[in-house]
Structure 1
Amino acid sequence: MKICTVALIATLMVVFAVAANAQQNFNRLPRLNVRKQSFTVSGISSGAFMAQQFAVAFSKTVTGTGVVAGGPYYCSLGNEFVALDSCMKIPQMIDLSIIQDMIKEMESTGAIDHSSNVKNHKFYLFSGTDDFIVFQGVMRKLQQQLYTTFQVPISNIVTDFKTPAVHGFITNDYGNACAMFGSPFINNCGLDQAKIILETVLSTKLNASQPIDRNLFTFSQSGNYTATSFDEKGYIYIPTSCQANRAPCVVHLAFHGCNQGVQSVGDVFVKHSGYLKYAESNNIVVVFPQVRKTESFLVNPEG
């Protein structure tokens, strides 16, 4: 379950455009009345790195981020070998000062929003004690980056580095045994991680309810993009009350990890990660971009 190349910053503009314009792309999706300053993101593994990339690049728009087994912003410095070594198992090789210099350079050219916005974001950071894919030290480097580079106050960060879990997304009702590493990389450890993420980034308590099948739509991800590896379709859950502008809603963007896209596990991550239990009753639109595997090992072999 290597860090996929989907985490490269070149992908950011593409996914943002897809998520923002989904209603124009497929099956006449309903128009949405989205509350301002209500766009949040999260991800697992490569999707966690992607979530952090996305949150910093679009820091004016994003207000909260959930990172499950990921790492610092721009950890790889655009180098795949760094991504697969330092950003997974050798945290002592991650130089936050170099990354900070790169952030300043990207700000100066307008490549990303000004990082001063990040200090106002809410964060959830998770790393299982038995994670042997992305070491806890990498996540602690992210925690350090939030405190030092981005000046995020401690009160804005919720951490869990004590749960005895392997590398995967954690639930309280679905998946492999907590200690088992393997597809679909969802583990039942008695912890409702999706709820904790959403409550943290949205700063509110949530009630669970049964998702409605007809409110899970697909949207086209085809187009003339500079990035590659997008699957034919992505998923978006739109609660009944959010449709036809009937109620103001918030939007959460959830990035799957390697080998968790529809090509690998079907709609398992979409339907069983736990996000949908809180979408319908809390007016949360949840977007699930989908990335496919490529035949070339040099591009994105694990989706």
Structure 2
Amino acid sequence: MRLRNVFLALAAATGLAATSLAMSTAAVPPPQSGTLTKYDITGTYVSGLSSGGYLANQLHVAYSGVFQGAGIFSAGAYDCAQNNLNTALYACMDTLQARKTPAELEQLTRSRAAAGTVDPVQNLSGDPVWLFHGTADQTVAQVVNDDLATYYRDFGARVAYNNASAAGHAWVSPIGPNSCGSTSSPYVNKCGTTDPVREMLGHLFGQVNAAATTLSGKLVQFDQGRYVPGGNPAPVSMGREGFAYVPRACEAGPCKLMVTLHGCYQYYGLVGNALMDKGYLNEYADTNNMIVLYPQATTMSGNPRGCWDWWGYQSAQYPLKTGPQMTAVVNMVKALSTDGPPPTTTTTTPPVAECVTASNYAHTTAGRAYVTLGQTYALGSGQALGLWNTFTTSGIRQTSPNYWVKC
């Protein structure tokens, strides 16, 4: 049964005590264009689902001097995939192939720390880490998630692990639109009156105030290109837009920062504000002085489902401090913190190009498009071009390096 789900798995990964709650029904505010400005940040944390969970772990490990804890829904141990898609699919989501043991990945981490490509592993000792895996989750095997718990515990992290919920492969929130056992878009589930988000934040922060019933803050939409090496997010499979929810209290006083990373098929360009609206983080942000940063991935060749890079589709440096997506997210964190220097990126001017009209087969062989399940998609934008053959033609133009759109 798990093999049958492997090819759906990248849709989200490629991604408690029962309490009576007064649930907020307030929608996330409409985004307003702006930039990331500096606040008095007292602590920085990271969370994520599936591919976002893998990236959350990579950020916590590689930048353990920046991130003070992590909350992860359904993911495996650091660099399980070893820069290989088959390993990611069949060893780090399913168990059809052998995967590296936690001890082997711990030694790999120590070697990288010694080389300076990730921060010292001693930083992980004592860090709060909250993990979640649902019993109905057939996308990432529980034993893979168990490896992540072992990995963190062996480095001395304070691990809390919720693996008793009947949830499917999803972020779980008390206002989630999907049923508990679902594994379907937009990958935000509700499991009765349980509130894993409160549980996660309580473990990370030590205590947490009740969620707000109305939202006071603003949702800032910013240009992610300012924080990506080279200035263009498309070649590193990141969207042009990113978001940050800023409570009113954070405008004038100290606040924590939570970086939250979506799963595959959960990026803004596909599901809109579903995670920002139903993930139940903003409600706690308002009452716990917490800014929530929502970076956004998107599609590109080798990543048609908009996953974060945890297997090397974009760069072999994906799990290191020099990984392009890792660098971009940390630049965003620095831009929000009074302690950090401003991001240093070089803005590039997108090239002006004429429309190229050719068969979809010719577009793919020339590297202007890619094919998935017999359908052709423009490189970078992911726009559908039709059937992949020599008879179907389409016109596309390059608006920036490795980014093609329909004419």
Distance 1:210 1:5, change over 3 A: closer
Partner of 1:231: 239
In terms of fraction of residues, the more helix-rich structure is 1
Runs of 4+ more than 4 Å apart: 3-7
Distance 1:110 1:211, change over 3 A: farther
In 1, the alpha carbon distance for the partners of 2:144 and 2:156 equals: 19
The Cα shift of 1:236 comes to 0.2
Q: Helix, strand or coil for the counterpart of 1:301? A: coil
The answer as to 2:290 corresponding to 1:288 is no
Provide Cα deviations, 1:52-95, integer angstroms capped at 9, x if missing partner. Answer: 11101111121111110111011112222211111101186332
Partner of 1:197: 200
Provide Cα deviations, 1:192-241, integer angstroms capped at 9, x if missing partner. Answer: 22222112111112221145376111111114527611101111011111
Q: Helix, strand or coil for the counterpart of 1:251? A: strand
Contact 1:68 1:169 (C-alpha < 8 Å) held by counterparts: yes
Contact 1:40 1:65 (C-alpha < 8 Å) held by counterparts: yes
Partner of 1:40: 45
In 1, the alpha carbon distance for the partners of 2:272 and 2:11 equals: 18
Partner of 2:310: none
Partner of 1:70: 75
Matches within 5 A, 1:1-303: 1-3=8-10, 27-35=34-42, 38-90=43-95, 93-148=99-154, 150-152=155-157, 156-190=158-192, 191-212=194-215, 215-223=218-226, 225=229, 228-243=236-251, 246-294=252-300, 296=301, 298=302, 300-303=303-306
Provide Cα deviations, 1:274-294, integer angstroms capped at 9, x if missing partner. Answer: 101101121100000011122
Contact 1:3 1:83 (C-alpha < 8 Å) held by counterparts: no
In 2, the alpha carbon distance for the partners of 1:5 and 1:53 equals: 17
The Cα shift of 1:31 comes to 3.0
The Cα shift of 1:173 comes to 2.2
Partner of 2:330: none
In 2, the alpha carbon distance for the partners of 1:30 and 1:215 equals: 13
In 2, the alpha carbon distance for the partners of 1:46 and 1:211 equals: 30
Contact 1:55 1:65 (C-alpha < 8 Å) held by counterparts: yes
Distance 1:187 1:5, change over 3 A: closer
Structure number with greater Rg is 2
Distance 1:265 1:213, change over 3 A: farther
In 2, the alpha carbon distance for the partners of 1:196 and 1:275 equals: 12
Q: Helix, strand or coil for the counterpart of 1:222? A: helix
Provide Cα deviations, 1:234-292, integer angstroms capped at 9, x if missing partner. Answer: 1101111111xx21110000000001111110011111111011011211000000111
What is the aligned-residue RMSD (CA, Å)? 2.1
In 2, the alpha carbon distance for the partners of 1:3 and 1:116 equals: 32
For normalisation by structure 1, the TM-score amounts to 0.84
For normalisation by structure 2, the TM-score amounts to 0.64
Contact 2:35 2:222 (C-alpha < 8 Å) held by counterparts: no
In 2, the alpha carbon distance for the partners of 1:119 and 1:78 equals: 27
Q: Helix, strand or coil for the counterpart of 1:285? A: strand
In 2, the alpha carbon distance for the partners of 1:6 and 1:109 equals: 29
List runs of 5+ in structure 1 lacking aligned partners.
8-25
In 2, the alpha carbon distance for the partners of 1:117 and 1:247 equals: 27
Contact 2:245 2:293 (C-alpha < 8 Å) held by counterparts: yes
The Cα shift of 1:130 comes to 1.1
The Cα shift of 1:179 comes to 2.0
Q: Helix, strand or coil for the counterpart of 1:270? A: helix
Larger deviation, residues 210-219 vs 127-136 = 210-219
Distance 1:80 1:4, change over 3 A: farther
Q: Helix, strand or coil for the counterpart of 2:61? A: helix
Distance 1:114 1:105, change over 3 A: same
List runs of 5+ in structure 2 lacking aligned partners.
1-7, 15-32, 307-407
Contact 1:4 1:46 (C-alpha < 8 Å) held by counterparts: no
Partner of 1:10: none
Contact 2:216 2:248 (C-alpha < 8 Å) held by counterparts: no
